[in-house]
């Protein structure tokens, strides 16, 4: 299994600081902004070179928005994203293109992420063409090589997306991200659209590639078992905020935040005799249109006290390499 | 947890999954285009449409062989057999301005000399000649106007969808304003303003039809571009660093253009119909120009006695109906084939 990242010894590859993304809600004749969806509200974290940072949370908690903001697929409202020392959010034109060569994304839905009218070989090769890498022949060879890395064959190159299964398409998506030999790949729920037997296949490919190319992943998912399998560190999101960030073993053994604890007891254990206490959260996730005052989790929190509904808890390092945002954690 | 190396080998699946052999032609065209092409030739209605259009294409190409022009310098001038006002029935004798006898004539009709096969109109214009040469006019106007409006609409709609926001809002409001004008009236006014400046020909009416005909396309293409723009493969292309123009032409337009294409194929018939309406109202070409609307307009004064002179309206009218129907059948078939719900049911 993957090694535990030793504290403070590794280099930060990506540094996200105070990232905020509000989506305007418009209404009326003049399309006036009447409200803001606070999708991501002041999130900071770093991704270290060579690690996999897992990111979990319920639907609508802002995981995908963070991933897309980092690549400027949506423009963040404020904050900064540094890749290798450069502020990605301030780059323009050619510089942005250069950085994009090193940062890629794998999408959730393998059926929507490939252009149905383009043979997959060309999809994979497009990036090489755009970045003027090598001659035509070299690009072709590199494309075939990349396809083989994800377990496809050279004769697949001229086929169209609809001729492939879901798992194969997801591997083509990986090949497309990999073709430029990036350092950092955002995996936006790459396996949640696949069935279980294919999931492990794709996860293992991602692990193999990480070993071979020294890749760094931001792995977004809502499946805790998948995240446990692949991550070195895990971040937990709730309603646009990061509530806990720790190494995988720390988090899965002794989670500090009550939300994380509740999530952990929801992981199914394949043992029918094992009885355990499950913490079932009351109610629903509040609307990100007007999140609760104070700690955003307090209306559902089993241990909330007065302060939780009044002041927002700080995201602090409660134990070495273990950050948490909760008033009740000492 | 044991980690087994992924092989990606699907040969084992092959025994259980029915695979379809994909021919060279299909690979050349691409799956979508191939499906569309084969789908188009499957229903009787679409085949009827294609047959009708092929028939009209044949007539327009073979017009000089079917009925040779009388005035070689201006083949679109319908020959007049005298100046009598009342129409003459089918099969009447042709005495003045008689065309040469083509090779097929004797075999088909059994006569040595030309007669008015479909009769003559008011002013002794030969209806058969007007219909045959009018086919060329129909194709010319239909195709030129449709292609021009299509291109203008696509460009306008793409710009609007591409810039979005405020620009999009303004551009689409302009479309709205143009769409609320009663179109035939607007076309009529513009064409009659242009005619004295350009002279009596096909051009003023064509310009007017183009000027008021492109808005539908721009609206539809804009909507489709906006929806395709958000798909993951477009985002993936952006992450790779592909330029916006390349994304538009390579990934967005090929996936967004088909509904607009359907509209265009349906519109060819409509354009010819509007053109005929303009001709019928006396806008456009000079009197005696081979054009279906013109031939129909000769019947205007005889509407009260159509039980005698039925042939002056039935033949050109029928031709027009068949032409429009041909394009509509093709357009319908195209729409069915492109309907995403039809996918996989070919």
Q: What is the pLDDT of residues A41-80, one digit of tens each?
A: 889 999 999 999 999 988 888 889 999 999 998 889 999 9
Contacts of B237 in chain A (CB under 8 A): 115, 126
Q: Name the residue among A71, A97, A151 with its Cβ closest to that of B7.
A: A151
Question: What pLDDT score was predicted for residue B323?
Answer: 93
Contacting A residues, span 11-50, partner chain B, CB-CB under 8 Å: none
- For residue B133, the Cα-to-chain-centroid distance in whole angstroms is 17
Q: What pLDDT, on the 0 to 100 scale, is given for residue B19?
A: 57
| Tokens 């000027």 belong to residue | B211
More confident residue, B218 or B32: B218
Binned at pLDDT 50, 70 and 90, residue B1 comes out as very low
Is A242 within 8 Å of A315 (Cβ atoms)? yes
- Nearest residue on chain B to A29, judged by CA atoms? B169
Residues in B closer than 8 angstroms to A123, CB to CB, are 233
Token look-up 């909330």 returns A304
The predicted-structure confidence for B187-234, as pLDDT tens digits, reads as follows 989 988 988 888 888 889 899 999 999 999 999 999 999 988 888 899
Task: Give me the residue from A115, A127, A201 closest to B233, CB to CB.
Answer: A115
- Taking contacts as CB-CB distances below 8 angstroms, the residues of chain B near A113 are 232-233, 236
B237 inside 8 A of chain A by CB? yes
* pLDDT score, position B20: 64
Indicate the pTM of the whole model. 0.76
CA distance A184 to A190: 15
DSSP of B165-234: HHHHHHHHHHHHHHHHS-HHHHHHHHHHHHHHHH-SSHHHHHHHHHHTTSHHHHHHHHHHHHHHHTSHHH
Flag the least confident range among A182-196, A237-251, B27-41: B27-41
The mean of the pLDDT values for chain A is 87
Of B5, B30, B239, the CB nearest to A117: B30
Write out pLDDT tens, residues B107-143.
888 888 888 888 888 888 999 999 999 999 999 999 9
Weakest mean pLDDT among A139-148, B11-20, B191-200: B11-20
State whether residue A303 sits within 8 Å of chain B by CB. no
d(Cα A55, Cα A313) in Å, to the nearest integer? 20
Q: Dump pLDDT digits (tens) for A270-328.
A: 777 777 777 777 777 788 888 888 888 888 888 888 888 888 888 888 888 899 998 88
Which of B309 and B37 is assigned the larger pLDDT?
B309
A109: closest CA of chain B, how far (Å): 8
A231 in contact with chain B, both atoms CB, cutoff 8 A: no
* Cβ atoms of B48 and B260 closer than 8 Å: no
For residue B10, name the pLDDT band (cuts at 50, 70, 90): low
Partner-chain residue, chosen from B3, B4, B240, that has the shortest CB–CB distance to A127: B240
CB spacing of B251 vs A115 below 8 angstroms: yes
CA distance A148 to chain B (A): 9
DSSP H helices in A2-116 = 63-70, 93-102
Write out chain B residues lying below 8 Å of A229, CB-based. Answer: 1
B8 vs A: CB within 8 A = yes
Interface contact flag, A165 B3, Cβ < 8 Å:
no
Q: What is the pLDDT of residue B343?
A: 54
pLDDT of residue B18: 53
User: What does the pLDDT look like over B60-115, one tens digit per residue?
Assistant: 999 888 888 888 888 888 888 888 888 888 888 888 888 888 888 888 888 888 88
Residues pairing with B120 in the sheet? B126
């Amino acid at each position: 299994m993957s090694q535990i990242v030793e504290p403070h010894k590794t280099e930060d590859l990506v540094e996200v600081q105070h990232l905020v993304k509000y989506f305007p809600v418009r209404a009326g004749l003049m399309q006036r902004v009447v409200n803001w969806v606070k999708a991501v509200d002041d999130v900071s974290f770093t991704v270290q070179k060579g690690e996999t940072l897992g990111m979990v949370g319920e639907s609508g908690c802002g995981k995908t928005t963070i991933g897309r903001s980092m690549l400027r697929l949506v423009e963040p409202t404020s904050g900064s994203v540094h890749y290798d020392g450069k502020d990605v959010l301030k780059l323009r034109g050619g510089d942005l293109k250069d950085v994009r060569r090193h940062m890629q994304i794998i999408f959730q839905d393998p059926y929507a992420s490939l252009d149905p009218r383009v043979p997959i070989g060309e999809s994979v090769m497009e990036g090489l063409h755009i970045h003027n890498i090598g001659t035509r022949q070299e690009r072709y060879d590199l494309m075939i090589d990349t396809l083989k890395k994800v377990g496809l064959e050279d004769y697949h190159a001229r086929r169209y997306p609809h001729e492939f299964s879901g798992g194969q398409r997801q591997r083509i998506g990986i090949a497309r991200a990999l073709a430029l030999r990036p350092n950092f790949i955002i995996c936006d729920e790459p396996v949640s659209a696949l069935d279980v037997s294919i999931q492990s296949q794709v996860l293992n490919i991602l692990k193999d590639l990480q070993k071979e190319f020294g890749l760094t992943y931001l792995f977004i998912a809502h499946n805790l078992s998948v995240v446990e399998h692949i991550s070195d560190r895990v971040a937990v999101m709730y309603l646009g905020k990061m509530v806990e960030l720790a190494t995988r073993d720390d988090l899965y053994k002794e989670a500090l935040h009550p939300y994380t604890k509740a999530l952990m007891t929801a992981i199914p254990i394949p043992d029918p005799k094992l009885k355990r206490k499950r913490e079932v959260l009351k109610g629903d996730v509040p609307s990100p249109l007007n999140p609760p005052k104070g700690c955003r989790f307090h209306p559902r929190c089993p241990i909330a006290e007065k302060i939780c509904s009044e002041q927002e808890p700080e995201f602090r390092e409660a134990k070495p390499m273990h950050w948490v945002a909760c008033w009740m954690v000492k | 947890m044991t980690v087994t190396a992924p092989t990606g080998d699907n040969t084992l699946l092959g025994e259980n999954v029915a695979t379809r052999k994909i021919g060279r032609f299909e690979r050349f065209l691409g799956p979508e285009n191939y499906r569309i092409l084969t789908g188009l030739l499957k229903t009787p209605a679409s085949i009827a449409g294609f047959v009708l259009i092929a028939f009209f294409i044949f007539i327009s190409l073979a017009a000089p062989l079917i009925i040779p022009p009388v005035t070689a310098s201006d083949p679109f001038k319908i020959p007049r057999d005298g100046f009598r006002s009342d129409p003459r029935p089918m099969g009447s004798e042709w005495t003045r301005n008689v065309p040469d006898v083509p090779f097929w004539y004797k075999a088909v009709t059994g006569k040595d000399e030309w007669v008015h096969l479909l009769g003559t109109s008011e002013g002794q214009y030969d209806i058969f000649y007007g219909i045959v040469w009018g086919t060329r006019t129909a194709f010319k106007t239909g195709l030129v106007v449709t292609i021009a409006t299509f291109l203008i609409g696509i460009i306008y709609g793409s710009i609007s969808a591409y810039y979005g926001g405020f620009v999009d809002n303004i551009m689409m409001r302009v479309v709205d304003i143009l769409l609320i004008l009663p179109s035939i009236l607007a076309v009529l006014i513009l064409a009659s303003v242009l005619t004295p400046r350009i002279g009596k020909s096909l051009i003023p009416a064509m310009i007017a039809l183009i000027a008021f005909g492109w808005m539908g396309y721009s609206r539809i293409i804009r909507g489709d571009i906006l929806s395709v723009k958000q798909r993951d493969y477009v985002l993936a292309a952006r992450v790779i660093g592909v330029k916006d123009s390349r994304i538009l032409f390579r990934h967005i337009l090929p996936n967004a253009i088909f509904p607009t294409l359907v509209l265009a194929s349906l519109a060819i018939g409509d354009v010819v119909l509007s053109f005929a309406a303009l001709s019928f109202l006396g806008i456009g070409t000079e009197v005696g120009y081979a054009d279906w609307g013109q031939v129909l307009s000769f019947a205007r004064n005889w509407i009260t006695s159509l039980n005698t002179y039925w042939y002056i309206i039935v033949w050109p009218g029928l031709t027009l109906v068949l032409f429009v129907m041909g394009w509509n059948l093709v357009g319908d078939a195209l729409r069915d084939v492109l309907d995403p719900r039809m996918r996989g049911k070919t």
